[in-house]
Amino acid sequence: MNNSDLYYISNKLLKDCRRATLHLATAESCTGGMIAAALTAIAGSSDVFERGFVTYSNEAKAELLGVPMALIVEHGAVSEPVARAMAEGAVARSAAQVSLSVTGIAGPGGATPTKPVGLVFLGAARRGAETLVERHVFDGDRGTIRHAAALAGLALLSRRIG
């Protein structure tokens, strides 16, 4: 696994946020704070990075981000509606104008016939704009899937800002 790609895209995202005078927040599940760690590893990130939510459990998604438990029960935590609600909740419950959410199945367990290992949903919210959501299925082991999800998420948020 190569962390230089995470550094590169994180640095670019921070610069883009500075130019647009935006603060950002993250709402992470399967990446467990990896995205927040990549962003805050860069000196000076505190002028852009507002906060990170690590909401691994369904209860944390509901309590910290305001994701309705009924949404989780109906669609599952790994779903487009939950990724959208996580991203929107991060903006609503912070001083950030943009946010990135990630929810998925990094494995090796947790898969179902309709939700395989590697399934990830990403959300990118911006105050006053439509939330973007992407669905991905990544191959590899747990670390590879988490890394790929972090990269794809940072790329999605870059597009939301641009």
pTM: 0.97
pLDDT in tens, 25-55: 999 999 999 999 999 999 999 999 999 999 9
| Whether the Cβ atoms of residue 162 and residue 124 lie closer than 8 Å to each other | no
From the number of C-beta atoms within 10 Å of its C-beta (0-12, 13-18, 19+), residue 21 rates as exposed
**Which domains, and CATH codes, for the chain?**
4-161 (3.90.950.20)
pLDDT at 161 (0 to 100): 93
Name the E strands within the chain: 24-28, 49-54, 98-104, 119-126, 132-137
% of residues, the chain, pLDDT over 70: 99
pLDDT higher than 80, residue 1: no
Q: How far apart are CA 77 and CA 79, in angstroms?
A: 6
What three-state secondary structure class fits 51? strand
